[in-house]
Structure 1
């Protein structure tokens, strides 16, 4: 495979000179762990689906990575070959990436919720040579689906099945034989060792508006972000991280797989989200940091407040109570964090709640600081990390003053190398500014607030509707489980706004109730949606992102 990562070479000299690119790979970081702390607990993988737990020291992690790497080489995997895997959080995921990195192969993580349509495109586009899947996960037969895809994927040479029973099983091919003791093992492990600018990860965007895009990252782009992220959050070798967010997303991959190794810290992986089990794991392992989306924070807070964790519960009325004594920080991203949730979580968990915003293309871009007032987490998405610049511009590309919403541009040490086979979509100018496709505003102190997607703009009678902000307010309504605001054509005003809502079970919401609720939030009357449509489920990508283009089509066609 040839990787057209055209955005990397022009940045190298300046990024190295500024100290932003570490010029290290995951191999270098793992080697340092084996040298400095070989017998330290590196990884504890808790599988609720399989009912098992497995732990590794750094010495054990490195040894098994070598074994699996030689096993992959026996399957024909070499430098720049793509190994795709559709696995949940677990040790197989981490070890496969480490093994691929030993060979200079590129890992392509795929979400376990993807099915034939998404997989067929991604595997063909990425020219995956090997695909690794679980035999079954959460009751679904991944092996059968993968075998059905094989005939239409000429580049795919081998299927490997975790917990498989035949010749294609993960154990038989990769983990059981002592491949690392073979006479040619040392030569294999040395021959393909990649450099820090080689592509190490191919990860696909969710495709909310069309074809998924293959985001290419090097060790330098990924580690530059991880180092700045850890610095902002004061994370180090003594921390223990819980990762229950999917590792096939950039969140789990960067901060649950790569970051612990760079920091020489420990990590606990959880494959299926269960807040009661998560709370127990935090207590049992002394977890100090975790990162997940807003629903995870809501669930964990409720569990601890209701006494669902082992060891007691936090006292909502006592500001000093710590329901999870070791947990220092919970970073929340992916959706606005309601102010009341920040307060409740702070009291129940005893942890600092940090908000953040980022993309697959650049990792985390903005984070609030642990030293910030709690209100920052619910009113902003943070300020730029070291090595990151952001700009909010108008349609002509001119910078806007604080408080005004416009297109968000990012220039970062962690910006990706480009979209695989689609350089025309790279959306990066000659000065390195990447157009995120988001709308945002900056306050006077440089803190960012995302206000929507550029393609989601609704212009009602010449007035831009702050879609993201109105959605965030409606999420606070007790009857709203999901909401998306989309535009529909209007002869006089050009566009009007419609709120599409999935109500919570047993709850009701009508148009008058929605209007009254938003008026109580002091929303300008022009910004209040002029229609309300209730539905049972949103059209969404396999990753769960709402597909607003489909909602707009359904409104237009009268099928919603």
Structure 2
């Protein structure tokens, strides 16, 4: 079990305010399985499952996990695509008080090796193959490097089939699960966020923080038990985790999962399942509007598109309004550490949609401060700080780092979390992210951990110095450009760079998409690389 920074004072404060309700996601599953057993809970690319079927399957897998030695407080890492097995595993882990550690499917040796090692995972669950990659082979290569023994389960093979064996109902009493229900203040999620110092950080959330993060959505966005949700972003991102794997169950609704984003397929899914709501990065909306025969499909059910992770260009909002007049597009901002903090309000004027990142959720507080920690006036840029019921309870094995980002409150309330972002708040309380103090590139809503990739490139024998900077892109907002200085007498092509990163096990999505070889990098008198100069130079070339 990991140590956290959760205090009795915070528990009492959030409970008294009604934000923390002492509930787990399986409480909601049990309620809806009893009330609406035949209602479809999830649909994936191969099948659907009702609430009653989901509950039975979750219990079977939970019993199977116990049989294999997984118990309360143990970490289960799973690197699965957006399929029903992902959902079942997370809910089964919750049922027995284990901690879910979802891993993004694009991660390879470098990321998976580090994350599973830091998490001290008891078990790793992977598909046999997804998009042409052999996951069990990768895990077998990594196993000798982990200090802890790691049980490997492969979905679709005998080890996994044993977990869902119908004979469990004869061999074990599901009543053994009831005493294992976790406390709502226990850690339920260990999810990694992109590192800015060469290491990803393991963000810890409790049952209370995750349930609270979804509680305000029905009122703000009109979600009910009749809604049909959709998720194409990986469930291993907090966006997918909250709004793909859990939001529907908290509201007794249906969720349609897409394991590979394809806008044309999404259009078909909307018409087939009458999808009403989706959350995704802004480029997904761009892709939807580019579907050639969009007008030929019945998309009248789709009424909400929540864009996360990147600003919404005005032209995209106007194109959406013209092509899909019944669709309301809103943007939001958040981080893995605190979920979605702000989001637009349906009915907002266009300037609020395209010029801000939304209004805070109930219970979440935001402020902008200057270099001395004083709150600045409206529309004045400064460091963004947040606090509230969605805030995480610490970085796993990095509590000192967590403490360094917490600013004591002068009002006697909870400490403020320094997000590392620059922002301003307008006169109406709407947030606008204006820059990042963290060295991260956001490509289509996906964080690229710059220092992490730079550290990998510094291992190349031809590289003397490297700086990765963002270059603007009309669809993805930013792409990564590697500016390198080579050692005398060496050469490096873009193809060489790609092969090297592949050999180091760096996820392909993190690879720079452009290579520029320079004689030197601009630096301050103290030797620090001036990335703003490189950004300006690369943007104009």
TM-score normalised by the chain length of structure 2: 0.81
Q: Which residue of 1 aligns with 2:96?
A: 103
2:347 to 357, 371, 385: 371
1:139 to 124, 132, 135: 132
Unmatched runs of 5 consecutive residues or more in structure 2: 409-413, 451-466, 476-493, 524-528
Q: Which residue of 1 aligns with 2:416?
A: 433
Q: Which residue of 1 aligns with 2:526?
A: none
- Checking the alignment, whether the CA contact within 8 Å between 2:203 and 2:336 is kept in structure 1 is yes
Q: Which residue of 2 aligns with 1:329?
A: 304
CA offset at residue 176 of structure 1?
2.9
- Checking the alignment, whether the CA contact within 8 Å between 2:196 and 2:438 is kept in structure 1 is no
In 1: Cα distance, 2:235 partner to 2:180 partner: 25
In 1: Cα distance, 2:92 partner to 2:236 partner: 16
- Checking the alignment, whether the CA contact within 8 Å between 1:67 and 1:178 is kept in structure 2 is no
In 1: Cα distance, 2:337 partner to 2:219 partner: 20
CA offset at residue 180 of structure 1?
3.5
Q: Does 1:240 align with 2:228?
A: yes
Cα shift readout 1:441-463 (whole Å, capped 9, x = no counterpart): 11111111111111459xxxxxx
In 2: Cα distance, 1:101 partner to 1:224 partner: 16
Q: Does 1:444 align with 2:433?
A: no
1:359 to 322, 331, 335: 335
Where 2:290 maps in the other structure, the secondary structure is helix
Q: Which residue of 2 aligns with 1:83?
A: 76
- Checking the alignment, whether the CA contact within 8 Å between 1:39 and 1:57 is kept in structure 2 is yes
- Checking the alignment, whether the CA contact within 8 Å between 2:196 and 2:439 is kept in structure 1 is no
2:391 to 404, 409, 415: 415
Cα shift readout 1:359-415 (whole Å, capped 9, x = no counterpart): 111110000001211332211100100010000000110001111111000011110
1:175 to 157, 160, 164: 164
Q: Which residue of 1 aligns with 2:117?
A: 124
In 2: Cα distance, 1:434 partner to 1:546 partner: 30
CA offset at residue 210 of structure 1?
2.1
Q: Which residue of 1 aligns with 2:34?
A: 35
CA offset at residue 149 of structure 1?
1.1
- Checking the alignment, whether the CA contact within 8 Å between 1:208 and 1:547 is kept in structure 2 is no
- Checking the alignment, whether the CA contact within 8 Å between 2:187 and 2:207 is kept in structure 1 is yes
Q: How many pairs were matched up?
A: 474
Counterparts in 2 of 1:551 and 1:182: CA distance versus 1, 3 Å: farther
Counterparts in 2 of 1:27 and 1:441: CA distance versus 1, 3 Å: same
Unmatched runs of 5 consecutive residues or more in structure 1: 47-52, 314-322, 458-466, 476-481, 485-496, 506-534
Counterparts in 2 of 1:231 and 1:116: CA distance versus 1, 3 Å: same
In 2: Cα distance, 1:131 partner to 1:415 partner: 27
In 2: Cα distance, 1:220 partner to 1:183 partner: 30
CA offset at residue 183 of structure 1?
3.5
Counterparts in 2 of 1:503 and 1:396: CA distance versus 1, 3 Å: closer
Counterparts in 2 of 1:501 and 1:428: CA distance versus 1, 3 Å: closer
Counterparts in 2 of 1:545 and 1:413: CA distance versus 1, 3 Å: farther
Larger mean Cα displacement after TM superposition, 212-221 or 152-161: 152-161
CA offset at residue 155 of structure 1?
1.9
Where 2:406 maps in the other structure, the secondary structure is coil
Q: Which residue of 2 aligns with 1:253?
A: 241
Counterparts in 2 of 1:282 and 1:503: CA distance versus 1, 3 Å: closer
In 2: Cα distance, 1:206 partner to 1:65 partner: 30
Counterparts in 2 of 1:128 and 1:498: CA distance versus 1, 3 Å: closer
Counterparts in 2 of 1:299 and 1:415: CA distance versus 1, 3 Å: same
- Checking the alignment, whether the CA contact within 8 Å between 2:106 and 2:509 is kept in structure 1 is no
CA offset at residue 112 of structure 1?
0.6
TM-score normalised by the chain length of structure 1: 0.79
- Checking the alignment, whether the CA contact within 8 Å between 2:192 and 2:201 is kept in structure 1 is yes
CA offset at residue 252 of structure 1?
0.4
In 1: Cα distance, 2:40 partner to 2:320 partner: 29
Q: Does 1:312 align with 2:296?
A: yes
1:345 to 312, 320, 323: 320
Counterparts in 2 of 1:504 and 1:377: CA distance versus 1, 3 Å: closer
Cα shift readout 1:444-499 (whole Å, capped 9, x = no counterpart): 11111111111459xxxxxxxxx99xx99xx9xxxxxx9x9xxxxxxxxxxxx997
